[in-house]
């Protein structure tokens, strides 16, 4: 298949690009490098031996998107492009609504102009909000999210759903990610957050690598076995493989389907830190800090539907995630900033 990846130079997009190429698909990427760097494209080529077709453009720019669709005959699209920092979304809600919703609407409009009817959307477990209790399943009501970023995912899911009602030829798979972490085992691509990482895993890796002094553990008084927050961590390569399966499902079906991509297992912050130190024989100094606003005690998936509908389940362990993340960190201490390697 010929597939367009919007935001395909990002963390999950680049890993999905590699898995698609390695599964024999043809890939084009559109990205404006707002949260990624051109070096990723070289790394994808080094891993796969293939240069994905690349367009530097903003998905909200309809004329740019028309140019891309004019020059390619896509079978499907995977829509990754969007801002994704929870904290930033609280400070800049209008920027998040404008960018994330405008890109979704523009993409669907242009897909329909060119008769492209298969799309996989990068959604998030955050749509389950606070009123549901884990393990989250796809039949649960998606409620109000605790932040504008999550709400843009919720509204985008609704936009895609309504579009399938209006256009019976449209096929949409909404992938609800849990906590994607780790890196491709080559160590050539990985997570490269701008500035100080918000998320646990990249923060741990930078502390272990001496780039940051100490990890702050946000609360050890949650109602969990060791008091720290529990999350469903999934290796980014497993997640990427789930996208290949979701694409094949979208092409073979019509309508809309929400599917969790999680391991179905929860791990606490302490477990992550201890596993990272043990597997990589490194120190991760930490201190206990107050809880972070908006954090849940527990979040993990009921992963049954992905196995039933896609024939997919997460296979890599927390140890694999820690090992692969450390290889990425040690081989790329400054991420893709190759000038300061």
**Residue 149 C-beta: closest distance to ligand WQD, Å:** 7
**Residue 85 C-beta: closest distance to ligand WQD, Å:** 8
Both structure tokens of 320: 């694999």
Q: What kind and span of H or E run contains 26?
A: strand 26-31
Q: Of 36-44, 112-120, 213-221, 318-326, which segment contacts ligand WQD by CB under 6 A?
A: 213-221
Judged by CB under 6 A, the residue of 199, 224, 302, 317 near ligand WQD is 199
- What one-character-per-residue DSSP string does 261-312 give? ES-S--EEHHHHHHHHHHHHT----EEEEPPPTT--SEE-B--HHIIIIIS-
**Taking CB under 6 A as the rule, does residue 292 contact ligand WQD?**
yes
CA–CA separation, 11 vs 25, rounded Å?
19
**Residue 248 C-beta: closest distance to ligand WQD, Å:** 23
Q: What kind and span of H or E run contains 171?
A: strand 171-177
**Residue 338 C-beta: closest distance to ligand WQD, Å:** 26
Contact indicator for 223, 213 with CB cutoff of 8 Å: no
Q: What kind and span of H or E run contains 260?
A: strand 255-261
Judged by CB under 6 A, the residue of 103, 179, 263, 275 near ligand WQD is 179
Q: Which of 142, 123, 161, 138 is nearest to 254 (CA)?
A: 161
Q: Which residues pair with 77 in a beta bridge?
A: 4, 119
Q: Which of 194, 149, 315 is nearest to 245 (CA)?
A: 315
Q: Of 112-120, 214-222, 234-242, 275-283, which segment contacts ligand WQD by CB under 6 A?
A: 214-222
**Residue 68 C-beta: closest distance to ligand WQD, Å:** 25
The contact pattern for ligand WQD, residues 116-145, with x = CB under 6 A and - = no contact, is --------x-x-------------------
**Taking CB under 6 A as the rule, does residue 269 contact ligand WQD?**
yes
- Number of residues engaging ligand WQD in binding (CB under 6 A): 19
Catalytic residue chosen out of the listed positions 149, 222, 249, 300: 149
Residue 131: count of CB within 10 angstroms of its CB: 10
**Taking CB under 6 A as the rule, does residue 114 contact ligand WQD?**
no
Q: What kind and span of H or E run contains 29?
A: strand 26-31
336 assigned to active site? no
Q: Kindly list the catalytic residues.
A: 149
Binding site for ligand WQD (CB under 6 A): 84, 86, 124, 126, 177, 179, 198-200, 203, 216-218, 229, 231, 269, 292, 295, 299
């Amino acid at each position: 298949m010929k597939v367009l990846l919007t935001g395909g130079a990002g963390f999950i997009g680049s890993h999905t690009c590699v898995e698609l190429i390695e599964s024999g698909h043809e890939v084009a990427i559109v990205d404006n490098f707002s949260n990624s760097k051109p070096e990723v494209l070289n790394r994808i080529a080094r891993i796969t031996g293939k240069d994905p077709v690349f367009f530097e453009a903003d998905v909200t720019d309809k004329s740019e998107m028309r140019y891309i669709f004019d020059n390619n005959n896509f079978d499907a699209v995977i829509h990754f492009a969007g801002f994704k920092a929870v904290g930033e979304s609280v400070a800049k809600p209008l920027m998040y609504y404008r960018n994330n919703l405008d890109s979704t609407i523009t993409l669907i409009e242009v897909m329909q102009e060119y008769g492209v009817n298969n799309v996989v959307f990068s959604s998030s477990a955050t749509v389950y909000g606070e009123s549901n209790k884990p393990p989250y399943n796809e039949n649960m009501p998606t409620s109000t999210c605790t932040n504008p970023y999550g709400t843009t995912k919720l509204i985008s899911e609704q936009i895609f759903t309504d579009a399938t009602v209006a256009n019976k030829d449209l096929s949409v798979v909404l992938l609800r990610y849990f906590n994607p972490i780790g890196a491709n085992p080559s160590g050539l691509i990985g997570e490269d957050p701008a500035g100080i990482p918000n998320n646990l895993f990249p923060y741990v890796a930078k502390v272990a690598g001496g780039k940051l002094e100490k990890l702050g553990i946000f609360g050890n008084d949650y109602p969990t076995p060791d008091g720290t927050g529990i999350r469903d961590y999934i290796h980014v390569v497993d997640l990427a493989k789930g996208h290949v399966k979701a694409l094949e499902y979208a092409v073979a079906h019509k309508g809309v389907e929400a599917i969790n991509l999680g391991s179905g297992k929860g791990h606490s912050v302490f477990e992550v830190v201890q596993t990272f130190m043990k597997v990589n024989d490194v120190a991760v100094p930490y201190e206990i800090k107050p809880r972070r606003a908006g954090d849940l005690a527990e979040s993990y998936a009921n992963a049954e539907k992905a196995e039933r509908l896609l024939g997919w389940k997460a296979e890599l362990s927390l140890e694999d995630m820690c090992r692969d993340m450390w290889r990425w960190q040690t081989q790329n201490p400054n991420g893709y900033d190759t000038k300061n390697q």
